[in-house]
């Protein structure tokens, strides 16, 4: 009977999700609290659970129930659920269980090795781990076997349906356009005369933490279902419904931790707002990392880098550091200045950092770039795109955690998310023309409600492209992103 098959399908999903949540909790502990000597045992724990997840995904019983249900032409959430699970099962069946277990083990050990290599500024400590990861990711691309560039099979994991053939021309156009805009900015008198007045002050650690806690409460992230911790690299993970963990990092820059916390809180709000009625099913998930990133970039850039936000929030910063000129502060928040570190980069240089990683990842997967050559290739590309050269690998090729986690194909979603964020903010202003007046008062209620209704509670019932089309009335549109950047920074730097 259909009801029995639906019940069995939901039981499989629940078991897969519970095991996956256990893996997420082990990863979170690894990043935040686990003693370093525990890395080998933790790798074995995660590898075993990952294999169990995979074995459930590819079980013959699950495949049989899916085949029966697909013949029933089910409607509503059940019909969508069947198709989402079928998609994931078919993809999982292409990966041998021993491969999944090995990849999980290798990446768990690599995360610890990356952290040590970064601390000691020694790429050689991480190189053998990254070689294993690249070899395994090439295998994965071969197993998945999507048409076109082999990188497509990895990119699709993070942004379903996106391909190199579609994305590369868009990124090349963005790169060309941004380099032209940067040239105009750097030739301007405003750029030549810009100088930090406020953001060079010392900012006490506890003051940073206090502001982080304050702003996430205002964004609606309550500690009864979320928690904020510290890690080397800020990240967000959802352990379960009602348990969202995110981290930040404390640095000397008065804004780094604050904006990083807002960024991760944007992810956290999305994770917390997923459809509760679809608990323990694959519909209770985010459809892609591009739209996930849109939520963090929306809050970090479209809200927290804007004038309306600082008209409200600046007084809280004045309690911690000396600030006596609003316009100067707003300019410093949005200063264009080359940075070697992606997560410290300004809004203009940021997509160039992503393009650099995208180009390197494609080369690693198609074999035109070798792991041992990465430090020199990285430095050369940074010089070409950003105009400065790393003095060491800590601020160069070792700065990101992603490759140690096997997340090759992930980086492009950051730029996709930035584009989506501009489109979503524009749609929000169409719906609520007065929204920036609300932001000036510190009132984010309409924003939170609108995002929940139009994006968060959809979960994976729709693909990202469908959600963006419904919310924004158009598909992915890099032109809107470029127009936004041009308008904002032409005003800041008095460009003609």
Instruction: Return the active site residues.
Output: 264
Q: b or e along 7-30 (b: 16 or more beta carbons within 10 Å of the residue's beta carbon)? A: ebbbebbeebbebbbbbbebbbeb
Rg, C-alpha atoms of the chain: 23
Q: Beta 226-230 vs 243-248: how paired, if at all?
A: parallel
Q: b or e along 211-240 (b: 16 or more beta carbons within 10 Å of the residue's beta carbon)? A: bbeebbebbbbeeeebebeebebbbbbbbb
CB atoms within 10 A of CB 193: 7
Distance between CA atoms of 45 and 25, rounded to whole angstroms? 11
Sequence length of the chain is: 496
Distance between CA atoms of 251 and 419, rounded to whole angstroms? 28
Tokens of 435: 């929204």
Tokens of 80: 């969508």
């Amino acid at each position: 009977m259909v009801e029995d098959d639906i019940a069995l399908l939901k039981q499989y999903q629940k078991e897969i999700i519970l095991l996956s949540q256990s893996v997420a909790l082990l990863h979170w502990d690894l990043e935040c609290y686990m003693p370093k000597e525990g890395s080998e045992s933790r790798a074995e724990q995660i590898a075993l659970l990952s294999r169990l997840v995979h074995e459930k995904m590819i079980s013959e019983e699950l495949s049989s129930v899916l085949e029966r249900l697909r013949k029933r032409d089910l409607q509503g959430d059940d019909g969508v659920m069947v198709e989402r699970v079928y998609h994931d099962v078919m993809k999982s069946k292409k990966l041998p269980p021993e491969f999944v277990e090995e990849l999980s083990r290798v990446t768990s050990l690599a995360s610890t090795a990356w952290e040590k290599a970064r601390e000691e500024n020694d790429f050689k400590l991480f190189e053998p781990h990254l070689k294993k990861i690249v070899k395994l990711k090439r295998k994965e691309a071969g197993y998945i076997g999507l048409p076109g560039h082999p990188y497509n099979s990895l990119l699709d994991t993070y942004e379903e349906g996106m391909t190199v053939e579609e994305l590369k021309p868009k990124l090349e156009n963005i790169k060309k356009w941004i380099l032209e805009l940067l040239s105009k900015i750097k030739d301007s008198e405003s750029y030549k005369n810009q100088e930090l007045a406020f953001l060079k002050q010392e900012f006490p650690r506890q003051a940073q933490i206090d502001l982080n806690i304050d702003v996430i409460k205002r964004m609606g992230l309550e500690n009864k279902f979320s928690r904020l911790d510290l890690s080397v690299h800020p990240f967000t993970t959802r352990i379960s419904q009602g348990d969202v963990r995110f981290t930040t990092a404390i640095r000397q820059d008065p804004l780094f931790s604050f904006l990083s916390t807002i960024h991760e809180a944007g992810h956290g709000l999305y994770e917390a707002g997923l459809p509760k009625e679809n608990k323990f099913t694959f519909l209770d998930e985010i459809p892609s990392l591009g739209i996930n990133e849109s939520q963090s970039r929306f809050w970090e850039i479209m809200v927290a880098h804007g004038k309306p936000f600082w008209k409200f929030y600046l007084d809280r910063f004045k309690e911690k550091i000396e600030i006596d000129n609003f316009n100067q502060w707003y300019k410093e928040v949005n200063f264009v200045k080359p940075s070697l570190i992606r997560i410290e980069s300004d809004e203009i240089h940021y997509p160039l950092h992503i393009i650099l990683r995208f180009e390197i990842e494609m080369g690693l997967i198609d074999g035109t770039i070798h792991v041992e050559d990465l430090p020199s290739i990285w430095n050369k590309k940074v010089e070409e795109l950003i105009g400065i050269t790393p003095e060491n690998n800590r601020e160069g090729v070792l700065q990101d955690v992603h490759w140690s986690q096997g997340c090759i194909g992930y980086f492009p979603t950051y730029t996709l998310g930035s584009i989506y964020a501009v489109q979503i903010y524009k749609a929000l202003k169409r719906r609520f023309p007065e929204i920036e007046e609300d932001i000036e008062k510190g009132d984010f209620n309409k924003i939170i409600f609108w995002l929940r209704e139009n994006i968060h509670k959809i979960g994976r019932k729709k693909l990202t492209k469908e959600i963006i089309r419904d919310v924004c009335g158009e598909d992915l549109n890099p032109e809107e992103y470029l127009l936004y950047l041009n308008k904002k920074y032409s005003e800041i730097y008095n460009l003609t």
